[in-house]
Amino acid sequence: MTYDDYLAGEPVIVTAALTGGVHGKEANPNLPETPEEIGRAAAAAEAAGASVVHLHARRPNGERSFSTERFQAVTDAVREQADDVIVQHSTGGTGAPDDVRHQPLRTDPPPEMASLDMGPLNRYEHLTSENTRALVDSLLAEMHDRGIKPELEVFNDGHLNEVRGLLERADLADPAYATLIFGGGTLTPPRPGNLLNAVRNLPDGAAFNTLGFGRHQLPFATLGVLLGGHVRVGLEDNVYRDRGELAESNAQLVERVATVAETLGRPVASPAEAREILGL
């Protein structure tokens, strides 16, 4: 994926990360937490232009849950309320035992995609996620067995080495799909040049998704569109519409980036087009 893909007007896949597992309604009361709220948010995001929804599950008290049962409830609500959106489950987490990290993969039917963190990372004061190679390989093996496409989450430049190593020791269906993530902590600093370098260092033939946390969401999505990549937005990663103005919904953030993409000459991919692009 290159600038030539932008010039050719290749469709852009918009992923909506609806809820996350860290902040809740205390950060933005419009953030969905229950399965029903997440289902409605998925349907609205799809109508606004999202072809993929990145899902987390929460306990009834709003805390994050990895359990298959809770993911099943969320997925069922999404499939009931949305039309044809691609379901992508999160397997990322901080402090969760390795076996628990597998549980989001075990819904019936399985998700079409699932996230796969490519290495250790620190965010905030007390949150660390180890993501050892052994865990990465075990999650990938279960994804392969269940027909789930991995979304390789790249939080810093060292994780690009991990992507290359993973491709050397495992067979991934083409195209490899990496989300390039920019923010604080041990993430790559959110500077445009760093995105350019990350794109240059991707393995040949890989497709990429662009994610900037917080105020960097819109500019990095715009850069991703211009570089021929795909984009992720949503209340998991950014709870604001503008400085000091909370976002009204995930759909509002999706609609904004869809307008940017179309203004720049790239149509927004439908779920069917996204499946073709991603090889699902």
The string of pLDDT tens digits covering residues 27-48 is 999 999 999 999 999 999 999 9
Please state, in angstroms and as integers, the Cα–Cα distance from residue 160 to each residue in 36, 93, 166, 223, 263, following that order.
Answer: 37, 20, 10, 19, 31
Sign of CA dihedral 210, 30, 95, 137: negative
Residue 49, SS3?
coil
Measured distance CA(6)–CA(225) in Å, rounded: 7
The string of pLDDT tens digits covering residues 176-225 is 999 999 999 899 999 999 999 999 999 999 999 999 999 999 999 999 99
Does the pLDDT value for residue 2 go beyond 90? no
Does the pLDDT value for residue 124 go beyond 90? no
* pTM for this prediction: 0.96
Is residue 96 within 8 A of residue 62, CB to CB? The reply is: no
* Encoded tokens for 106: 């075990």
Share of the chain above pLDDT 70, in %: 99
**pLDDT confidence of 129, banded at 50, 70, 90?**
confident
For the chain, give the number of residues: 280
Name residues whose C-beta falls within 8 Å of residue 222's C-beta, 6 or more positions apart in sequence: 257, 260, 264
The string of pLDDT tens digits covering residues 49-58 is 999 999 999 9
DSSP 184-211: STTSBP--HHHHHHHHHTSPTT-EEEEE
Is residue 233 within 8 A of residue 253, CB to CB? The reply is: yes
